[in-house]
Amino acid sequence: IVRPFREIPGLWKNGVANLYNFWKQDGFKNLHRIMLQNFNTFGPIYREKVGYYESVNIINPEDAAILFKAEGHHPKRLKVEAWTSYRDYRNRKYGVLLKNGEDWRSNRVILNKEVISPKVLENFVPLLDEVGQDFVARVHKKIERTGQNKWTTDLSQELFKYALESVSSVLYGERLGLMLDYIDPEAQHFIDCITLMFKTTSPMLYIPPALLRRIGAKVWRDHVQAWDGIFNQADRCIHNIYRQLRKEDGISKKYPGVLASLLMLDKLSIEDIKASITELMAGGVDTTSITLLWTLYELARHPTLQEELRAEVAAARAESHGDMLEMLKRIPLVKGALKETLRLHPVAVSLQRYITQDIIIQNYHIPAGTLVQLGLYAMGRDPKVFFRPEQYQPSRWLRTESQYFKSLGFGFGPRQCLGRRIAEAEMQLFLIHMLENFRVEKQRHVEVQSTFELILLPEKPIMLTLKPL
């Protein structure tokens, strides 16, 4: 009684017509809402074709479990052709983000040890803690300058700098100096290039970049410029460390950063290292900063919850006697808040895999090779999955209620987010320092929605007021 693939509901017969409708609904910016709507129309599974992009979409945690069991040993996500086309066009190597198969696995295994294994946390935390302290000092200064004992602002640019400073300090073992008054214009340019790179990627999910390139389309040209800016800045940082490493031969006891560790380990080619370090540097800016912005926004909307978190942080501080690694083990509610933020405001609208074996989901047969997408944004807001999904409730992650395949903001399995440990530590330390220093408030009655620019972003500036405690 298993039903065949062709009976899965949805619009998958005419990709061009669907692309036209998608475009009419301003789909390039509304992908998350369109997915939600499709689940409402078709139920928990639907098949779709927009432009040349074809997929089966699912929403339930139990179905996600089936999907990830069929991901194989070399899990493969949707190929973002804009990104691979740029690399091919400029003759640059793919890093771990874009590699596949055995090449991906062998690189990933080595990177895992230096970037995501639990033992590296003790190296990262002191570096990230220092950046967090500097951020707070910077905000205090800004508040003083207003002369009003508070600072009302759109924090996104400040958070981009915090995130870039954080990820760079871990990758290079060195500070860029972005928490200072005068910042390197090259670093600001790098930040702007990442935003432009994401923004220009989304239309190219549906229209082949090769075609856009042939007709000299502006999106393609902008995209190339954005990646050029990203690679130039990363190349500068990488060369800097490489030169230093060749000069000094005495091995110091200080942790030298991910890049120097990889170079000394000598297990990956320099070109492979450069490619993945560039991806880590570029992947480490908008993702954590926007998640922190959403978290501050939610804490501003929930003052009582904000006080609860502050109390948890104060108790953790007292119990850990200045040991930050210990402190990070004592803040379950802060961790719950970050999960809750990613539930309601995920960076990635969906997770995807090309399945390597036939599976059955919702009683439909899905053949091996199909691109299956889990609608992460839709799942986070589904009342069948989360009790009262509209409510921001970090404590739901502390209860015993089943969390089976529900906390998927960083993806799952061997292909999950490589920056996850960095991101988590960086965000937890940020919240610790902010809660210890400031009260966050916002104007009432201002609801902010998301817009899709490859990652989900706030659709308008989020204005927050910071007051010293």
Can you give the binding site for ligand HEM, defined by CB under 6 A?
A: 77, 96-97, 108, 167, 279-280, 283-284, 287-288, 291, 342, 347-348, 351, 409-412, 415-419, 422-423
Of 60, 85, 287, 428, the one binding ligand 2DC (CB under 6 A) is: 287
In the complex with ligand 2DC, the residue whose CB is nearer, 78 or 183, is 78
Write each residue from 198 to 237 as x if it is in contact with ligand 2DC (CB under 6 A), else as -, in one continuous string. Answer: -------x--------------------------------
Collapse the DSSP code of 58 into the 3-class scheme (helix H, G, I; strand E, B; otherwise coil) and give the result: strand
DSSP 335-375: HHHHHHHHHHS-SSSEEEEE-SS-EEETTEEE-TT-EEEEE
Q: What is the DSSP letter of 204?
A: G
Supply the minimum distance, in Å, between the C-beta of residue 76 and ligand 2DC: 11
Q: Which does 350 bind (CB under 5 to 8 A by kind): ligand 2DC, ligand HEM, none?
A: ligand 2DC
Supply the minimum distance, in Å, between the C-beta of residue 315 and ligand 2DC: 33
Query: What are 55's strand-pairing partners?
Result: 48
What gap in Å lies between CA 386 and CA 381, rounded to an integer? 7
Question: What token pair was written down for 284?
Answer: 């480490």
DSSP H or E run through 195: helix 185-201
What crossing angle do the helices spanning 286-301 and 303-320 adopt, rounded to 10°? 120
Supply the minimum distance, in Å, between the C-beta of residue 290 and ligand 2DC: 10
Supply the minimum distance, in Å, between the C-beta of residue 190 and ligand 2DC: 12
Q: Which does 291 bind (CB under 5 to 8 A by kind): ligand 2DC, ligand HEM, none?
A: ligand HEM
For the stretch 77-91, what's the b/e string if a residue is b when 16 or more beta carbons lie within 10 angstroms of its beta carbon?
Answer: beebbbbebbbeeee
Contacts with ligand 2DC in 85-144 (CB under 6 A)?
Answer: 97
In the complex with ligand 2DC, the residue whose CB is nearer, 359 or 417, is 417
The answer to whether 58 contacts ligand 2DC (rule: CB under 6 A) is no
Q: Which does 85 bind (CB under 5 to 8 A by kind): ligand HEM, ligand 2DC, none?
A: none
287 contacts: CB under 8 Å, gap ≥ 6: 163, 347, 419, 423, 455
Of 54, 78, 153, 325, the one binding ligand 2DC (CB under 6 A) is: 78
Query: What are 451's strand-pairing partners?
Result: 457
Collapse the DSSP code of 440 into the 3-class scheme (helix H, G, I; strand E, B; otherwise coil) and give the result: strand
How many Cα neighbours within 13 Å face the side chain of 429? 28
In the complex with ligand 2DC, the residue whose CB is nearer, 320 or 416, is 416
In the complex with ligand 2DC, the residue whose CB is nearer, 161 or 396, is 161
In the complex with ligand HEM, the residue whose CB is nearer, 44 or 409, is 409
Burial class (CB in 10 A: 0-12, 13-18, 19+), 112: middle
Supply the minimum distance, in Å, between the C-beta of residue 146 and ligand 2DC: 34
For residues 456 and 32, the answer to whether their CB atoms sit within 8 Å is: yes
Supply the minimum distance, in Å, between the C-beta of residue 41 and ligand HEM: 25
C-alpha angle with apex 73: 70 to 75, nearest 5 degrees?
Answer: 70
Write each residue from 386 to 425 as x if it is in contact with ligand 2DC (CB under 6 A), else as -, in one continuous string. Answer: -------------------------------x--------
Of 50, 127, 238, 348, the one binding ligand 2DC (CB under 6 A) is: 348
Q: Which does 282 bind (CB under 5 to 8 A by kind): ligand 2DC, ligand HEM, none?
A: ligand 2DC
Query: What are 412's strand-pairing partners?
Result: none
How many Cα neighbours within 13 Å face the side chain of 17? 4
For ligand 2DC, the binding residues (CB under 6 A) are 77-78, 80, 97, 205, 279, 282-283, 287, 347-350, 352, 417, 454-455
